[in-house]
Amino acid sequence: MAINSDVEDWRGVGSNDSGERVWLLQSPSVDSVQHLETDRRSGGVSCMGAVFIVVNAALGAGLLNFPAAFNMAGGVTAGVMLQMFMLIFIISGLVILGYCSQVSNENTYQEVVRTTCGKVTGVLCEVAIAVYTFGTCIAFFIVIGDQLDQAVAHDTDGTVSGHWYTNRKFTIFVTAVFVILPLSIPKEIGFQKYASALSVMGTWYVTIVVIIKYIWPDKVTPGYLLNHCACYSSSSWTAVFNAMPTICFGFQCHVSCVPVFNSMRRKAIRPWGLVVTLSMIICLFVYTGTGVCGFLTFGSSVSQDVLMSYPPDDIAVAIARAFIVICVVTSYPILHFCGRAVVEGLWLRFQGEQVEVCVRREKRRRILQTLVWCAVTLVLALFIPDIGRVISLIGGLAACFIFIFPGLCLMQAKLSETDSRSASWHGLVIFGVFMVTIGAFIFGLTTTNSIYQDIVS
């Protein structure tokens, strides 16, 4: 029911368990969903509870790419300024989605878009969510390969092991087949309820390790002496656009925040604005701390995955790698569940199948969709070893969720009003147009640049 607006399509299908109604998260959490269901029955989620859920939704594996994004942007100053500029529109988009959810009386991102902007835009939004979750699953496999490569492919003295069972592709394949695939097939994913705490702990621990390693380096890391001066090198103003996909990917929590707004005890725009502002400020400190200290540590030699730049025998970094692997392994099935649910909803809507037929064939479709989804994402991850390439593509798509769809919703919501059109009305419409324009520019530029770089490489 969180996927289709037509309640009849899902009546009698599936379970009433809260795990069946999980939404798309950057760092997904069924535990957060269960808290929302409990709090909704007891009067709603408090503002502090909403802050925790939004922060958990925003923080994720994109954290590892921020030092490389600062490098692409041209340095610390350019990276921080770009984040501050983007944060204005990120917070505005979240507030707009809350307002449009209130106006349309819908509880999910895609249904707000569908009700406010029409069926065509709603279908485009669902397709975008499916593609975004698919790309994120590829990035998760790459992250797993990166961390396991450093953990098992090196001996205790730091030398590279030549054993076949430590090969990167083999470890990714084994993890996918024996761990992730069994977790992704079940219809219900309520057993993933501890993903929330692990995600938050993992991201915070990675940030703390990166900061401490910069302030008190216990050993000279590769590239530290040679490239430390390059951290302050200037670059052309167009270089900052190279960092936009990472920032959009890191701060994208808009799809999951519409249900959070509807679960709040005070479902009003003013407290919601305070919640998203505080949440994004917390995320800003985490991302900035990792980006700045990681970049200052390694300079222009920093890897796309910052943990790959540290020595493989570092104990603190090894614990960080373990945290990230656990978070990714538990997050993949939830992201896959969201993408699978969107694909299922689109399939049923366009096929017009009866509920009884859907129930009888649900298990067959679910297993087939899961096998195809996992196999394709696995194959692509095996031949795309650089997480930066994946983020550059889906980061541009994340700009659609942050800029384009909220801007369209704001424009349509204001244009549908019949009251007198004041100066504030015109200002909001113009702001909506500006958000759509900025989002289209970021999406077009970053996607085109990413495809061009892939062709050149």
* SS3 per residue for the chain: CCCCCCHHHCCCCCCCCHHHHCCCCCCCCHHHHHHHHHHHHCCCECHHHHHHHHHHHHCCHHHHHHHHHHHHHCCHHHHHHHHHHHHHHHHHHHHHHHHHHHHHCCCCHHHHHHHHHCHHHHHHHHHHHHHHHHHHHHHHHHHHHHHHHHHHCECCCCCECCCHHHCHHHHHHHHHHHHHHHHHCCCCCHHHCCHHHHHHHHHHHHHHHHHHHHHCCCCCCCCHHHHHHHHHCCCCHHHHHHHHHHHHHHHCCHHHHHHHHHCECCCCHHHHHHHHHHHHHHHHHHHHHHHHHHHHHHHHHCCCCHHHHCCCCCHHHHHHHHHHHHHHHHHHHHHHHHHHHHHHHHHHHHHCCCHHHHHHHHHHHHHHHHHHHHHHHHHHHHHCCCHHHHHHHHHHHHHHHHHHHHHHHHHHHHHCCCCCCCHHHHHHHHHHHHHHHHHHHHHHHHHHHHHHHHHHC
Task: Spell out the per-residue pLDDT of the chain, length 457, in tens.
Answer: 333 344 333 333 333 333 333 333 344 444 444 445 444 445 677 888 888 888 888 887 788 999 999 988 888 888 899 999 999 999 999 999 999 999 998 888 988 999 999 999 999 999 999 999 999 999 999 999 888 887 775 555 555 556 666 788 888 999 999 999 998 888 776 555 556 667 778 888 999 999 999 988 875 454 444 444 444 554 566 677 888 889 999 999 998 888 889 888 888 999 999 999 999 999 999 999 999 999 999 888 888 889 988 888 889 999 999 988 888 888 888 788 888 888 888 887 777 765 445 566 778 888 999 999 999 999 999 988 777 778 888 888 999 999 999 999 999 999 988 777 788 899 999 999 999 999 999 999 888 888 887 787 6
**pTM: predicted TM-score of the whole model, two decimal places:** 0.81
Task: Give residue 208's pLDDT.
Answer: 94
Task: Give residue 283's pLDDT.
Answer: 92
Architecture of domain 7-398: Up-down Bundle (1.20)
Task: Give residue 238's pLDDT.
Answer: 65
Task: Give residue 7's pLDDT.
Answer: 38
Task: Give residue 86's pLDDT.
Answer: 92
Tell me the domain boundaries of the chain: 7-398
CB 13 within 8 A of CB 356: no
Task: Give residue 393's pLDDT.
Answer: 83
Alpha-carbon gap, residue 250 to 248, rounded angstroms: 5
